[in-house]
Amino acid sequence: MIRKLNLSNFYRAISQRQLQTTSRFFASNPEESKDFTHFGYETVRTDEKTEKVHKVFENVAEKYDLMNDAMSMGVHRLWKDILLERFYPTLGTKLLDVAGGTGDIAFRYINYINKLNKAHPDSQKKSSVTILDINQNMLDVGMARAERLGYKTTEEIDINWVCGNAEELPLESNQFTAYTIAFGIRNVTHVDKALREAYRILKPGGRFMCLEFSHIENNETLQWIYDQYSFQIIPPMGQILASQWQPYQYLVESIRKFPKQPDFKEMIQEAGFKHVTYENLTFGVCAIHSGFKL
């Protein structure tokens, strides 16, 4: 009798065995534990993860938006729309959008600001958006999209593109009024460093907003369905549409390794942010975390 392989349980088993192995290694080599982190379910040296993540997105840059639509059945667009609604930017906002290479959040922000400028034609407040990404290939895709769609610097809004690392932002302190990062922070090697950098570059009163894949809460049936889709559908879909299996295998694994909503909230608070909250979207498949620098 041939049993159907449950890949969700299979990958969980791999993760558990790997965690046990890694834990034993750390126990016998405690001075080394700080030098290792996770890349999906793989344990790697911390100095390797940034390059591995860079290569993942370098390989999929051209197909990134196509795959986002296919994997989420277009729902990621609604999640990003909700992020902008919760953000509620005003004229004069200086936004830093991190890991925003393809421009999805930035273009929504520009549209929002353009509508406000039309409603308030006498406003003298100039807004801006700086799109930062560690991967130049992603930025190239975003800049090409911006040119094609007609997004450019005007008298009302400045648009800047910067290649840089979220953990070491090449930007001055206290200069932005808002910081957004959508589906990018789980790829950062040291999330705590990225959060501290977000706090550093924000002005007092500035807002941090993060949209990220998260964890379904208290629904075993939905979790089972989500696991089946994640592990049995998404990597093969990546192979078919983008000729890339491994980046999408990494995607679903990295989501499981990311902290749960309350734990990530605590990390944001530890970075210095106040009034930190989170909102689940689609049963917790993703979540919006928000905090303020006071």
* Residues recorded for the chain: 294
Is the pLDDT assigned to residue 17 strictly greater than 60? no
* Residue showing tokens 């370098």: 58
Those residues whose C-beta lies under 8 Å from the C-beta of residue 13, and which sit 6 or more positions away, are: none
User: 21 in a domain, yes or no?
Assistant: no
- Look at residue 224 and tell me whether its pLDDT is greater than 60: yes
Mean pLDDT of the chain: 83
Q: What is the dihedral of CA 29, 30, 35, 40, to 10 degrees?
A: 80
Number of domains in the chain: 1
- pTM of this structure: 0.79
Is 24 inside a domain boundary? no
* CATH assignment at residue 253: 3.40.50.150
Domain of 226 in residue numbering reads as 37-293
Indicate if the pLDDT at residue 59 is higher than 70: no
> Residue 142 CB: number of other CB atoms within 10 A?
24
Measure the CA–CA gap between 284 and 286, rounded to whole angstroms. Answer: 5
Q: Which residue has the higher pLDDT, 158 or 233?
A: 158
- Residue listed under structure tokens 């992603």: 138
Specify whether the CB–CB gap between 97 and 122 falls below 8 A.
Answer: no
Domain-located, residue 235: yes
Residue 145 lies in a domain: yes
Does 222 fall in a domain? yes
Residue 52 lies in a domain: yes
Picking from 136, 59, 73, 143, the residue whose alpha carbon sits closest to that of residue 103 is 143
Share of the chain above pLDDT 90, in %: 59
Residue 234 belongs to some domain of the structure: yes
Q: SS3 letters for 255-287? A: HHHCCCHHHHHHHHHHCCCEEEEEEEEHHHCEE
Q: Looking at the domain assignment, is residue 193 inside a domain?
A: yes
> What does the pLDDT read at residue 51?
62
Write down the pLDDT at residue 67: 64
Compute the distance between CA of residue 239 and CA of residue 245 in angstroms, rounded to an integer.
Answer: 5
